[in-house]
Amino acid sequence: MAALWKRSKLERGADAAIYVALGVFCLATLFPLYYVFVMSVTPYSEVMRHGGFVLLPRSLTWDAYRMIFESPVVPRALRVTVSITLVGTFLNLLVTTGLAYPLSKKYLPGRSPAIVAIVFTMLFSGGMIPLYLVVNAVGIMNTLWALILPGLVSTFNLLIMKTYFENLPSEVEEAAKIDGCGDIATLTRIVLPLSLPIMATLGLFYGVGHWNAYFNGIMYLNDRSLYPIQVVLRNMIQMPNVSQELQTQNPQALARLPAETVKMATVVVAILPMLAVYPFLQKYFIQGMLLGSVKG
């Protein structure tokens, strides 16, 4: 009995240490987000009074958010980013599914060489300059398609989805074919409804990738009206004065706002949509990753 009590105390101590460590890790993860938000809504006079570091502001101001949404640049960049994310994620899932489903069938002729060729692209790349030349040659430079088509399929996501399809019960597809369903009907009516976890997981991967992408916008776009929000944010962070980037019609009001406050507000606007979407997909996320990455 003493040994059991002693082990129980050790287990409770270990659990407490784990919870403390997880709590500290969560605070360390959330604190930068909290600090950015606080700095975006704290009056600059209070920030300076506390030496540039405020945890609990005594008063709030939304002038920075009002200013960036009165500017035509940030709302336009948000519309561009939302369009790229929605259209790009849809096409990503469509093409990835169209490749992964046939590759999950062992009877497919040429399946093994095709998988080897696909994996080869994940290990070796042609590089930035050949990709730029291809994008320029196909005529999509300075268009939003340049932000979507070059990364239409991720090899890593393709392999995860292929493995997920391989783990689905073959009896279900066999029953569908006995009932007269062809391959496309089996995919759309049977396989895809059973694949919501992996579709949500890879959709989140693709969506976050499109939302956070800025390098392709810098490399392929010259028209500033096509800049996504991440490119606008990058330009604002690099500039000491944000009025030139925002192109506001009220530069006097913007001049009264500290540049750092406007930058912090733009960071919040850029990350908030993804933070809002993730909780709705979280229940599918872990399940899709586990079922799609382990073959059993």
Give CA–CA dist 40/260, Å, rounded.
Answer: 8
Give mean pLDDT, residues 173-190: 79
The percentage of residues in the chain with a pLDDT greater than 90, rounded to a whole number, is 16
Give CA–CA dist 22/275, Å, rounded.
Answer: 20
CA dihedral for 45, 47, 50, 55, sign (positive or negative)? positive
Give CA–CA dist 222/140, Å, rounded.
Answer: 12
Query: Is residue 226 a contact partner of residue 142, using CB atoms and an 8 Å limit?
Result: yes
pLDDT at 126 > cutoff 90: no
- Classified as helix, coil or strand, 16 is helix
pLDDT in tens, 90-104: 999 999 999 998 888
| Band (84; pLDDT cuts 50, 70, 90) | very high
Strands (E), 59-133: none
| Band (286; pLDDT cuts 50, 70, 90) | low
pLDDT in tens, 208-256: 899 988 888 889 998 888 899 999 888 888 876 776 677 665 555 555 6
pLDDT at 295 > cutoff 70: no
| Band (145; pLDDT cuts 50, 70, 90) | very high
- Per-residue pLDDT at 292: 47
pLDDT in tens, 148-157: 998 899 888 9
Supply the pTM of this predicted model. 0.81
| Band (291; pLDDT cuts 50, 70, 90) | low
pLDDT in tens, 255-277: 567 777 888 888 888 888 888 88
**Exposed/middle/buried for residue 164 (C-beta within 10 Å: 0-12, 13-18, 19+):** buried
Residue where the block lists tokens 């409770």: 12
Residues 6+ apart with CB under 8 A from 147: 84, 88, 210, 213, 216, 217, 220, 221, 228
**What is the widest separation between alpha-carbon atoms in the chain?**
78
